Structure 1
Amino acid sequence: MLADNPRHLAEHARQRHDQTLHRAQQALAELADAGEQVTVAQLANRAGVSRSWIYTQPALRDRIRQLQQHRASAGFVRDTATRATDDSLRQRLALAHERINQLRTENQQLRDALAHAHGQLRAARLSTGDR
């Protein structure tokens, strides 16, 4: 048996694909059973596969779409994780506004320093006769 026999390579690739598909299906079932929102990114992370690989699997994509539609049609009420996300976003927005105000103050200080430096430069030119 040669190590480079294409039949053995193809068999190994098929087995690896089957194992990966099984792992992704199991992770998808776990996400659905937990009541979590199912996305390609979450599935990829949970199953340890790439998102691009999931997009090449029509059965997985269809199941993800079904779960998303079911969740949307069931009228799920926002859970505490979503509220925490809203609170987190509000906090981030408040911090961003605070940072904007700091940057405005810093910009004004830099403008004042630049104007002062221009004034000194102009005064120096006038005193030496350069114009």
Structure 2
Amino acid sequence: MPADNAPHLIAAARRRHELTRSKAVQALRELEREGTAVTFESVAKAAGVSRSWLYSQPDLRADIQRLRERTRSTGRPTVPPVQQATDASLRQRLEEATARIRELRQENERLRRELAAALGEQRAQRRTDPQRRGSATIGPC
């Protein structure tokens, strides 16, 4: 009489199922972390599983649909929560940008004053130096 291999086959099937499941969960989390659009196709491709298998897993199916809806509602993949800017960091960036704008305005004012002074000196030089009275424009060749 042949040996009963059913328990070994069942155990192997369970291991294969758990391995496949862990690959799918890992792929789903990876896509979410990267901010990539989460669809059944993208998860299946990343995990190396079939889309029909994903549809047959109620919890994975719910996660994929939830993430897919989030992407659909904004029209683009969302930024993962770990990469989203906090209010404090946005406020800090705004303060730094405001300070930089203030510095650039001051520099522009300084450069305008220096340019006005240089142009004034140049004009005064032309009035006092008869050699430089000619046109600075180059004529046609």
TM-score by length of 2: 0.49
- Residue 70 of structure 1 deviates from its aligned partner by 2.3
Moved over 3 A (4+): none
Are the structure 2 counterparts of residues 76 and 20 from structure 1 closer, same or farther at C-alpha, using a change threshold of 3 Å?
Answer: same
1:25 is matched with 25
3-state SS of the aligned residue for 1:19? helix
Match in the other structure for 1:51: 51
Assess, with a 3 A threshold, how the Cα gap between structure 1 residues 23 and 5 changes in structure 2: closer, same or farther. same
Change beyond 3 A, Cα 1:77–1:14 = closer
Partner of 2:71: 71
Q: How far apart are 1:3 and its partner, in Å?
A: 6.5
1:125 aligns with none
Which residue in 2 is equivalent to 1:14?
Answer: 14
Give the aligned residue type for 1:10: I
* Residues in 2 aligned to 1:17 and 1:3: alpha-carbon distance in whole angstroms: 24
1:4/1:44 Cα in 2 relative to 1: closer, same or farther (>3 Å)?
Answer: farther
Q: In structure 1, the residue corresponding to 2:38 is in which secondary structure?
A: coil
Deviations 1:35-75 (A, max 9, x none): 111111111110001111111111111000111222334x3
RMSD: 2.3
Q: Percent identity?
A: 46
Equivalent position amino acid for 1:51 in 2:
R
Q: In the aligned structure 1, how far is the partner of 2:76 from the partner of 2:14? A: 42
Amino acid at match of 2:28: L
Q: Is the 8 A contact 2:38 2:64 kept in 1?
A: yes
Q: Tell me the amino acid that sits aligned with residue 14 of structure 2.
A: R
> Which residue is 1:60 aligned to?
60
* AA aligned opposite 1:7: P
**Distance apart, 1:76 and its partner CA:** 5.1
In structure 2, the partner of 1:85 is: none
Following the alignment from structure 1 to structure 2, what is the Cα–Cα distance between the partners of residues 40 and 4?
38
